[in-house]
Amino acid sequence: MYSIGIIGGTGYTGKALLQCLAVHPFTTEIKIYAKNSAGEKLHKLFPDLVGLVDNLQIESSENVSLEHDLYFIALPSTQALQFVPDLISNDKFVVDLGGDYRLDFEELYMQWYNFTHNSPHLLKEKVYGLADHPSTNYENVKLIANPGCYPTAILLSLLPLLPEFADKISTISCLAMSGTSGAGKEVRTDLLLSEMYSNVKAYNVNNHRHEPEILQQLYKNGFHSPFSFTPHLLPISKGIYVTNSVHLTEEIAKQDFDDLYNNLYQDCHFVRLRNNPPELQWIVDSNFCDINISVKGKKLIITAAIDNLMKGAAGQAIQNMNKLFGIDETVGLLNRENKYVSV
């Protein structure tokens, strides 16, 4: 049984964490730490959690207790740096849902995030927690860097190709789309309903912080061809949809790709290989990643869909906690009828 602290538990991701932990049988205590809402009752912020989560008083993030076994950190960029080094030095387990520890080299943080990293030694010690990829190793780990939402969908849909076919890929172009909740709860004019309704737009073109994270993992698995990643906002609240256009140097039979994906994900409960391109309505409010493969000549189209707040954030974080502690990975994410926990 584990005591859990959530630092930054009053945003969209924090709420999703609470909903999963509320039905998790291995948690004995949950405390929420925040800055602006410290001292308030949880049900004032989230009235819909009445009857599901106790009406906890939100604690100040300036006084985070060291009493917990594991800490989820759901804060904007740079803010996890205030907490992670001290927690790790006190032998605590940490799952950071932000980007502060995802990259391997401190120089990349100045280039992409415009800050100097205060604990670069932890960049080498952390594990990049792509929970559904069999290569993710949880032995002797204290710090898990939870992948971003776009990288989760893109990497799960592309990594199976690389061990065998990396040298047969000439280019990959990734068109990725997200709901507006991926930007958090901060009030912004460009995300207002009147701005986004019936609208679609590209953003952070050639300058999205998830790009080095994606490339880092692709390079580690043998990919070194040209790659492009263009994110778009959809007029919806939740969901990530990715279309990867992979151009090959020679024709390869679809069965060869099917075999690769089936073999890699055969024991992964939350990756579902589809016969048709997935739809967002199949995965929203769940921890599933749905993937489809289409082949025509030297062109390979791989589509994938996830919920950005679940598989792209809180759901994968719970899955990482389960694997870290040797618990069935579905605990807190599937109910007794083997249906997903809806958030």
- Token pair of 208, please? 């999205």
* Residue entry with tokens 């009445």: 50
| From 20, 149, 174, 289, active-site residue | 149
Query: Is 174 marked active-site?
Result: no
At residue 199, the pLDDT reads: 85
At residue 202, the pLDDT reads: 92
Which string of b and e fits 4-30 if b means at least 16 CB within 10 Å? bbbbbbbbbbbbbbbbbbbbbeebeeb
Is the overall model pTM greater than 0.95, yes or no? no
State the Cα–Cα distance between residues 42 and 97, nearest whole angstrom: 21
Pinpoint the residues of the chain covered by CATH 3.40.50.720.
2-147+310-324
Contact 88, 112 (CB under 8 A): no
The CATH H-level (homologous superfamily) assignment of domain 2-147+310-324 is NAD(P)-binding Rossmann-like Domain (3.40.50.720)
What is the Cβ-side half-sphere exposure of residue 242, based on CA atoms within 13 angstroms? 30
State the Cα–Cα distance between residues 293 and 33, nearest whole angstrom: 42
Contact 233, 197 (CB under 8 A): no
State the Cα–Cα distance between residues 135 and 128, nearest whole angstrom: 10
Contacts of 158 (CB under 8 A, 6+ apart): 172, 218, 223, 244, 246, 302
At residue 182, the pLDDT reads: 72
Q: What is the pLDDT tens value at each position of the chain, 343 positions in all?
A: 899 999 998 888 999 999 999 999 999 899 999 998 888 999 998 998 998 888 899 999 999 999 999 999 999 999 999 999 999 999 999 999 999 999 999 999 999 999 999 999 999 999 999 999 999 999 999 999 999 999 999 999 999 999 999 999 999 999 999 998 776 656 677 767 667 778 888 999 999 999 999 999 999 999 999 999 999 999 888 999 999 999 999 999 999 999 999 999 999 999 999 999 999 999 999 999 999 999 999 999 999 999 999 999 999 999 999 999 999 999 999 853 334 444 4
**What would be the CATH architecture of the domain defined by 150-306?**
2-Layer Sandwich (3.30)
What is the Cβ-side half-sphere exposure of residue 184, based on CA atoms within 13 angstroms? 14
At residue 334, the pLDDT reads: 85
Pinpoint the residues of the chain covered by CATH 3.30.360.10.
150-306
